Structure 1
Amino acid sequence: MSHPGRALKRLRAMRGLKQAAVAEMLGVDQTTVSRWERGIGRPEGREAAALERLLAAPAGPGADRALKRLVSQAGEPVHLICDITHRLLAASPARVAEWTSPLDIHLGERLLRYASDEIRAAEARLPDQGWYEPVAPRLVFYTGANADPDLRIRPGWMSWERLRLEDGSLARLVTTVSWGEQPPPAGPAA
């Protein structure tokens, strides 16, 4: 997880939580939460895992049903993941058609382990691209194939768009813009 301070502060604002309440949830003191929000220090071990659970987008069926339904019915290859944990929240039939294993096996699964080298590099550049600002840009970049036979990633242009879910957590809409080696689509590139 990149530095969680901004996400933690945003989550508190969205849910109307005080630092002391978050500190109690995480089993730390209020001063620690304050330091994290100011970018001083990072949670590690148990604290990092607890913070990730707090910030993670819910995978349950009740959270943002309409958005998940739209993604699940989209005609283009698209999927929705939690922006913090990379857990799969929904995928379109066109995306699932690229995979050799069924969707239900992967719902709630962390997908970063399937990433291509280019996707990992784009993930590492997110802070420099303004991804963690209040309004994140749409990022478009080229990815090569991955080496996994189950969740195959084909070479092509991909876009990432950050969305805020109703509970204040963040999700990422991942869309294949075009497959193959083509000139980049219009718009800012990562």
Structure 2
Amino acid sequence: MDWSRKIRELRFLENLKQDALAQQLGVSQASVSQWERSVAQPPAHIKAKLRRRLLVSPGERLNAAVRTSVVESPNLCGLLTMRDGEVVVELLSHDSYRLFPLLTPADLGKPLRGKLGRDIDRLLDRLVGEGAFNGRVQYAKLALTAHRNGLSAAGIATVTPVCSQAEACVLRCEVRLLAPGEPVPKLEQITHFSWDEADADA
């Protein structure tokens, strides 16, 4: 096994720094660094601990990787999910609150409808209606303008549905905010998966 690669992968999936993983394993940060650089191999008892942590289902790994990519994004980035028939902001990147003060930590886990204006509600309805949470949408790029508490912000959202077999899809939504005064383009591109006849019958 390529322990160097596996340890880096584990740290990425669990969003851990070397010193945090070292503390969890009961070793020094220098040891983890040496393993990652292939200068040394972990001892047998550490390999056993690492194997147990790496034996996570693909769905759990995908979920962890997507969540990490959202939280660590330097942009306005969020994870949207459906809960009780409502689109909910489940997670936001660390920089989202600074970049986009229209959402606050109090908005996490609550329905998005009615919070950011009619334009956002209409785009959410379109994504839901076209099956973004049901695995029918491959990708979407949407221009949007949000309004709340006398503030407004415009941007271009890239929406990527991520689906696992066990659950409905979640939407990873990353937004490039437009500068004040920059015109908002007319953009509502939603790309669906196209299944050929043979796949549909299988």
Using structure 2 for the length normalisation, give the TM-score.
0.49
Q: Which residue of 1 aligns with 2:45?
A: none
Secondary structure at the aligned position of 1:146 is classed as: strand
Distance of 1:79 and 1:69 partners within structure 2: 11
Shift of 1:81: 1.4
Distance 1:140 1:116, change over 3 A: farther
Q: Which residue of 1 aligns with 2:172?
A: 173
Distance 1:88 1:145, change over 3 A: closer
Secondary structure at the aligned position of 2:68 is classed as: helix
The AA in structure 1 aligned to 2:183 is: E
Which structure has more relative contact order (CA 8 Å, sep 6+)? It is 1
Distance of 2:143 and 2:184 partners within structure 1: 9
Q: Which residue of 1 aligns with 2:157?
A: 158
Q: List per-residue Cα deviations over 1:61-119 (Å, max 9, x = no partner).
A: x993332122111111110011453222211123221227752x333222223132212
Distance 1:127 1:87, change over 3 A: closer
Shift of 1:172: 1.3
Which structure carries more strand by proportion?
Answer: 2
* Number of residue pairs the alignment of both structures matches: 125
The AA in structure 2 aligned to 1:99 is: P
Give the fraction of aligned pairs with identical amino acids, expressed as a percent.
11
5+ residue gaps, structure 2: 1-60, 192-202
Q: Which residue of 1 aligns with 2:118?
A: 117
Using structure 1 for the length normalisation, give the TM-score.
0.51
Q: Which residue of 2 aligns with 1:188?
A: 189
Distance 1:86 1:160, change over 3 A: same
Distance of 1:161 and 1:128 partners within structure 2: 16
5+ residue gaps, structure 1: 1-61
Secondary structure at the aligned position of 1:155 is classed as: strand
Distance of 1:108 and 1:127 partners within structure 2: 18
Distance of 1:101 and 1:182 partners within structure 2: 20
Secondary structure at the aligned position of 1:119 is classed as: helix
Distance of 2:75 and 2:128 partners within structure 1: 28
Distance 1:89 1:165, change over 3 A: farther
Which one has the largest radius of gyration?
A: 2
Distance of 1:95 and 1:129 partners within structure 2: 27
Q: Which residue of 2 aligns with 1:68?
A: 67
Across the aligned residues of Structure 1 and Structure 2, the Cα RMSD in angstroms comes to 3.4
For the 8 Å contact 1:83–1:172, the answer to whether it is kept is no
